[in-house]
Structure 1
Amino acid sequence: MTLGEPWTAADYVVIDIEGNGAQPPELVELAVVPLRGGVIGDVQAWLVRPPTPITWHARQIHGISDDDVTSAPSFDDIVPDVLGALGDAIPVGHAVHNDLAVLRRILPGWAPPFAVDTLRLARHVLDLPSYGLGALVEHYDLGVGLPAGMRAHRADYDALVAAKLLIELAATLNPRGTTLAELRQAAGTTSAAAAVDRTLFDLL
């Protein structure tokens, strides 16, 4: 695969993490959505029992309580499943550096070559008053056709709409066909194999 090929020639995994409000964040929920050949696959999602309680502020955002994760596995219990879902694909996320920071801390052997940030891509191709995921879902009407019961700020919903968002943004970036090089440049991708590049992240 070369950077001159269509962006759809690469395999992607769209990720979203919900945390417990601690600093640094501890995982409460993780969702992974494969994107191969420009086609969105099935969502894989896990509730995770964090080592410390979920804060009130975090509960107000995602609605997950300590009771909801009492019987959930610890992250160590699901590491093989998570690594299998991530594979060797390119990670994608909205403000993806947040997700990478958490995953690289708890998956020290996971080192994808770079990641695609739909927030940076949206800022590159659109002129909107807000680039939050909710505003972009509304802009592209991405909530249509989602499975019943999904709601914003849960990992499965956010990962799935981010996958749909990437497809829309890539089509907007170059209607004749976005290449992997164009996507990488426009999305301000980051190397997950190296130390966190604060200079790049500060551009967000």
Structure 2
Amino acid sequence: MNFSSWPALLVVDVEGNGANPPDLVEVAALPLRDGRPDTSTAGAWLTKPRRPVTPFAAGVHGLTNQVLDGQPGWEEIADAVHALLGTAWIAAHNAHVDYRVLSAHLPKWQPAGVIDTLRLAKATYPELSKYSLDDLIAHVQPDLTQAPAQRHRATFDAFAAAQLLLAMARHYDTWDQLVAAAVPPGLPGAPKPVEDPTLW
């Protein structure tokens, strides 16, 4: 895989307050450049949700209402998040979720495409029985020594997903092959189905 041929891409992860639909409490966006995470230009934001964080959500990511008290509201950071994302491709684990939540919070944002590392993992490692981020970390064993924070925080999960994406990409010869395996139908960047020339 020639990583220099990749378009602009950021690995993203979001954490929510546990409500449905969720309010965001943390967003991370980590650019990939030449086959490496570029932490020097990454973005990470904490934001105080409009509705309180549920005890279950706080138990997962550790971002309690007390931790988030005094953090900016979403409207204060939305422009900065949108500016970093731009029109680049994004990648995320179970990307439907991150794409849907970010789109709801950034109605004018439209990425060039959406890579789902969960879908890619199922294509790359069909022998596995489970495909959670933890299961894939255990299988691939990427180097996470430079990962910030801890598991279930957006910065850590984005870094882990980035390392998994880079490891899986080495199983594909071209960007187009990767896209064919990794972009869910109906999301931006999905390959268009080949039309049957025999049909009227």
Q: Is the 8 A contact 1:49 1:75 kept in 2?
A: yes
Q: Is the 8 A contact 2:143 2:163 kept in 1?
A: no
Q: Which residue of 1 aligns with 2:46?
A: 47
**Cα separation, 2, equivalents of 1:27 and 1:80:** 15
Q: Which amino acid aligns with 1:179?
A: T
Q: Is the 8 A contact 1:15 1:99 kept in 2?
A: yes
Q: List runs of 5+ in structure 1 lacking aligned partners.
A: 194-204
**Cα separation, 1, equivalents of 2:164 and 2:45:** 22
**Cα separation, 2, equivalents of 1:179 and 1:191:** 20
> Per-residue deviation at 1:7?
5.6
**Cα separation, 2, equivalents of 1:29 and 1:68:** 12
Q: Which amino acid aligns with 2:146?
A: L
For residues 166-181 of structure 1, the aligned pairs below 5 Å read 166-172=165-171, 174=172, 178-181=173-176
Q: Which moved more, 1:79-88 or 1:156-165?
A: 79-88
Does 1:20 pair with 2:21? Answer: no
**Cα separation, 2, equivalents of 1:111 and 1:87:** 8
Deviations 1:3-49 (A, max 9, x none): xx946421111000000000001101110000122221113211110
Q: Which residue of 1 aligns with 2:149?
A: 150
> Per-residue deviation at 1:140?
1.7
**Cα separation, 1, equivalents of 2:96 and 2:169:** 20
Q: Is the 8 A contact 1:14 1:92 kept in 2?
A: yes
Q: Which amino acid aligns with 1:95?
A: N
Does 1:182 pair with 2:177? Answer: yes
Q: Which amino acid aligns with 1:184?
A: V
Q: Which amino acid aligns with 1:159?
A: A
Residue 34 of structure 1: which of 31, 34, 49 is its match? 31
Q: Which amino acid aligns with 2:133?
A: L
**Cα separation, 1, equivalents of 2:4 and 2:92:** 16
**Cα separation, 2, equivalents of 1:146 and 1:135:** 19
Q: Which residue of 1 aligns with 2:197?
A: none
> Per-residue deviation at 1:50?
0.3
Q: Which residue of 1 aligns with 2:131?
A: 131
User: SS of 2:59's equivalent?
Assistant: helix
Q: Which amino acid aligns with 1:131?
A: Y
> How high is the TM-score relative to the length of structure 2?
0.86
CA RMSD of aligned residues (A): 1.9
- Count the aligned residue pairs: 185
Q: Which amino acid aligns with 2:79?
A: P
Q: Structure 1 residue runs of 4+, over 6 Å off? A: none
Q: List runs of 5+ in structure 2 lacking aligned partners.
A: 190-200
> Per-residue deviation at 1:146?
2.0
Q: Which amino acid aligns with 1:28?
A: V
